[in-house]
Structure 1
Amino acid sequence: MPSTVVHCALAGLLAAALLDEFDAQAVAVVLVATIVPDLDAFAGFVIPGGHRSVLHTLLFPLTGAALLSYDTRIRESSFVRRRWRARGVRVAWVSIAAVAFAGIGLDLIGGGVNLFYPLYDQFYELSGELVLSNDRGLVQTFVEFGHGGEAARGSTKQVHINSGIDPNRGAEPTNVERIFPVAQSGWQLLLILTSSFVLAVRLWETR
């Protein structure tokens, strides 16, 4: 399961690649936006199954994109552009992309998310492989046509995604172990190190 550090690592790479005016402040905005979906870990205390549902829904970044599009393309005077200029618009778009790909996307392949909550209450997990075989040709198992349901994991009534904040559904014993992961695999650690290196270089170049 990707940790908040891993989410921020991918978001940092997106920031380094997509921000025009690159500096620590702009990167910080992107990273803070990326962390927001993980705050729904607290929702589990109020809504069973709320973790990976309330703020991990695709409606979250889509709503942000719709509001930003309306503000910058339809309104006569854009609030974002008036207050933060074109730089602010760029940072906002990169933040929305980071939420979608680094905040929600990583969790979609790491345990699953409730993609369309609350319109449709169903957790999905993206798993499978895409390979080129000299015997079978191009083979993909991410989407199994004709079978259906392989990616579906259940609703908020059936699924609980544990976290250090809310390890188990319902009441927990006082001695319950709370784990706050940093890196749980080699690729996650490599992503963290790579992102740290890239951000450090970019910030050094713009000092």
Structure 2
Amino acid sequence: MPSTLVHVAVGGLVGAALLGRWFDFRAILVILAAAAIPDLDSFTSTILPGSHRSLFHSLLFPLVLAALLVYDTRVREQSVIRGQWGTRGVVVSWVALAALFGGGIMPDLFTNGVNAFYPFHDAFYAINGEALWSSTRGFVQTFVELSPESAPPTTETLHYSTVVDPSPGDEPENVERIAPLASSGLELMLVVLGGCVVGGRLVAERLWSPRE
């Protein structure tokens, strides 16, 4: 299960790639925070069982935010974001949304699943498998199963262990709470790569930006 650190690292890569000339410390800080937002539903699971990987990991969440951004920046006569922060604010807002989706939700969707259409449809889906070409079987993929053997799990049948809520129900006093940082070599690679890319861009902006 990707950790929040992995989500932030991927969000940093998204920000470094998309912010362009608006990249600076404050902007990338907003982007990193946005990538961590979906994992806030790990705190709500103690109050609303099953809400982790559901409440803020639903694909409807970024869609609603995107609709609000479109309304504010394209539809209404006076944009709040543009009025406060100009074009820079609009760019940072959209990149933050991209980081929220690409860094905060997609790593979970492509590993062990999210409740993709919560709260309207309670079912966890994961895009996880393999794709290959075989000399005897031809093209084979297991990412999407059109006829799954069993129904997908729901908030009533699936619990994701977190440091806040390790197990369903009341926790024993000696329960082990684990806060993962990197659960695989791939995740560690993403953390290192994201840190190096963001750190490198911050150094480059300081060294090469025009001085007044």
Per the normalisation by structure 2, the TM-score is 0.92
Q: CA deviation at 1:149?
A: 6.2
Paired with 2:95 and 2:112, the residues of 1 have a C-alpha distance of: 25
Paired with 2:136 and 2:197, the residues of 1 have a C-alpha distance of: 40
1:132 corresponds to which letter in structure 2? W
Deviations along 1:173-192, whole A, 9 cap, x unmatched? Answer: 01000000111110111111
Paired with 1:110 and 1:177, the residues of 2 have a C-alpha distance of: 23
Paired with 2:9 and 2:136, the residues of 1 have a C-alpha distance of: 38
Deviations along 1:87-115, whole A, 9 cap, x unmatched? Answer: 11111111111111211111112321111
Q: CA deviation at 1:132?
A: 3.0
Deviations along 1:136-178, whole A, 9 cap, x unmatched? Answer: 3332211123x1466x531111111110110001101010000
Aligned to 1:197: 196
In 2, are the aligned partners of 1:111 and 1:161 still within 8 Å (CA)?
no
Q: Secondary structure at the match of 2:140?
A: strand
Aligned to 2:29: 28
1:184 corresponds to which letter in structure 2? S
Q: CA deviation at 1:78?
A: 1.1
> Is 2:84 aligned against 1:55?
no
2:9 corresponds to which letter in structure 1? A
In 2, are the aligned partners of 1:19 and 1:94 still within 8 Å (CA)?
yes
> Is 2:68 aligned against 1:91?
no
Q: Any gaps of 5 or more consecutive residues in structure 2?
A: 207-212
In 1, are the aligned partners of 2:113 and 2:124 still within 8 Å (CA)?
yes
In 1, are the aligned partners of 2:12 and 2:198 still within 8 Å (CA)?
yes
Paired with 2:82 and 2:145, the residues of 1 have a C-alpha distance of: 44
Runs of 4 or more, structure 1, over 4 Å off, are none
Q: Any gaps of 5 or more consecutive residues in structure 1?
A: none
Paired with 1:133 and 1:91, the residues of 2 have a C-alpha distance of: 44
In 1, are the aligned partners of 2:40 and 2:56 still within 8 Å (CA)?
yes
In 1, are the aligned partners of 2:112 and 2:128 still within 8 Å (CA)?
no
Identity %: 50
In 2, are the aligned partners of 1:125 and 1:153 still within 8 Å (CA)?
no
Pairing of 1:134-153 with structure 2 (within 5 A): 134-145=135-146, 147-148=147-148, 153=152
1:26 corresponds to which letter in structure 2? A
Paired with 1:72 and 1:110, the residues of 2 have a C-alpha distance of: 34
Aligned to 2:9: 9
2:169 corresponds to which letter in structure 1? G
